[in-house]
Amino acid sequence: MRKAVGAFLGALGLLGAALWMMRDGGREYEARDAIQVIAAEVDRLLRENPAATPDDIDRAILWLGRASVIHVEAGSDGRPVDPYGAPFRVRREVTGPESVTTAASAGRDRRWGTEDDLVETVRRPRAGD
């Protein structure tokens, strides 16, 4: 009986560890998916309205979450946050012949400049703006 209980508890521990790892992998998948969609949507928004403000961009990102297009929630300050609870970074640069829109997540550790940061870039010819 003790062996059976021990085996059961061991299996339960392994299952718990597997579920924890799957959940964390799920968050990374959600964050990657979100930044891909955000980069494309912000690129579209800024092509249609070059004067869009950071608040306009935040509203567009939060709408994507409300529409169940991506997993995104509003943080305590009302700005969109990634599945780890950190704010997304969105940036657009127009240099030379192209515009570059970048969306990023700080990743699992919620710190910028580390190897788990997730970044998606959309590049378009400037003439298409």
* Alpha carbon 20 to its chain's center: 19
**Domain residue ranges in the chain:** 2-128
Nearest Cα to 99, choosing from 51, 44, 52? 44
Which amino acid does the sequence have at 45? L
For residues 3 and 39, the answer to whether their CB atoms sit within 8 Å is no
Residue showing tokens 């240099």: 95
Predicted TM-score (pTM) of this structure: 0.77
Residue (of 41, 32, 34, 28) closest to 101 by Cα position: 41
Q: Mind listing the pLDDT tens digit of every residue in the chain (129 residues)? A: 666 655 655 555 555 544 544 456 689 999 999 999 999 999 999 999 999 999 999 999 999 999 999 999 999 999 999 999 999 999 999 888 999 999 999 999 999 999 999 999 999 997 554
CATH for the 2-128 domain, from 3.30.700, 3.40.1000, 3.40.50, 1.10.3470? 3.30.700
| Cα four-point dihedral sign 52, 81, 63, 100 | positive
